[in-house]
Each structure stands twice: as structure tokens, then as C-alpha cells.
Amino acid sequence: DGGITQSPKYLFRKEGQNVTLSCEQNLNHDAMYWYRQDPGQGLRLIYYSQIVNDFQKGDIAEGYSVSREKKESFPLTVTSAQKNPTAFYLCASSIGAGVIPDGYTFGSGTRLTVV
């Protein structure tokens, strides 16, 4: 079955550490996204990628970095510069940017906690 796999499901980070969240899809989707969800707030876009070797900052990119070396993979690194990283992180993909209607397929998420 096609889908998006995120790992790990739960992640604990110490102050000052960088951590990398994995996101892999086998849907042959061109576009991939990283969102952050905090209680009582809508999803906020961190980074997105339209195609391999290309990615763009979203609304809250500070303290995060990504890469898109393969179509299937879009890992997110939460760096020590991110001051409030505790959140639920969701990876998503879509066929492309211009397909209407174009819903997202989400991974099951990674819950990151700073300890």
C-alpha cells in the first residue's frame, strides 16, 4: 500500500541537540511538506519541496533545515536554534502544487519533546 512513513513516532531531545525526523513516501508525489502542530493552533508550514533538490521556506522555518536528495525522502532537522521545538510534526505530500482538488496525504506524525 502506498503512503507516507514518519519515524520515529516519539522523540525526546535534550537542550542544545540537533535531531532529524524522517519522512518517506512511496506515492510518487512530487511535492512534500513539513508542518508543525501546537495545541489549539492550526498547522503551520515549516518547509516545502516541489521537486528533488529544491525546497523553500514556509512560515516558520527558523531553527529548522531540510534536504530533498531523493523524490521519496524529505527529512527535517530540528536544530538547537529552534527555541521551542516541543510539538507534533507532520509530513505531507501531494501530487503537485497545481492539481485541483489537491488534498494532502499526511504521515502519522512525530511527537517531539524537549527534556
Q: Is 99 in the site for other proteins (CB under 8 A)?
A: yes
Q: Is 7 in the site for other proteins (CB under 8 A)?
A: no
Q: Is 51 in the site for other proteins (CB under 8 A)?
A: no
DSSP assigned state of 4 = E
| Identity at 1, one-letter amino acid code | D
Among 56, 62, 86, 113, binds other proteins (CB under 8 A): 56
| Identity at 10, one-letter amino acid code | Y
Among 43, 52, 60, 61, binds other proteins (CB under 8 A): 43
What string of DSSP letters covers 58-103? -TT-TTEEE--SBTTB--EEE-TT-S---EEEEEEEES-SS-SS--
| Identity at 39, one-letter amino acid code | P
Residues binding other proteins: number (CB under 8 A): 29
Q: Is 1 in the site for other proteins (CB under 8 A)?
A: no
Residues that bind other proteins (CB under 8 A): 31, 33, 35, 40-45, 48, 56, 58, 88, 90, 96-109, 111
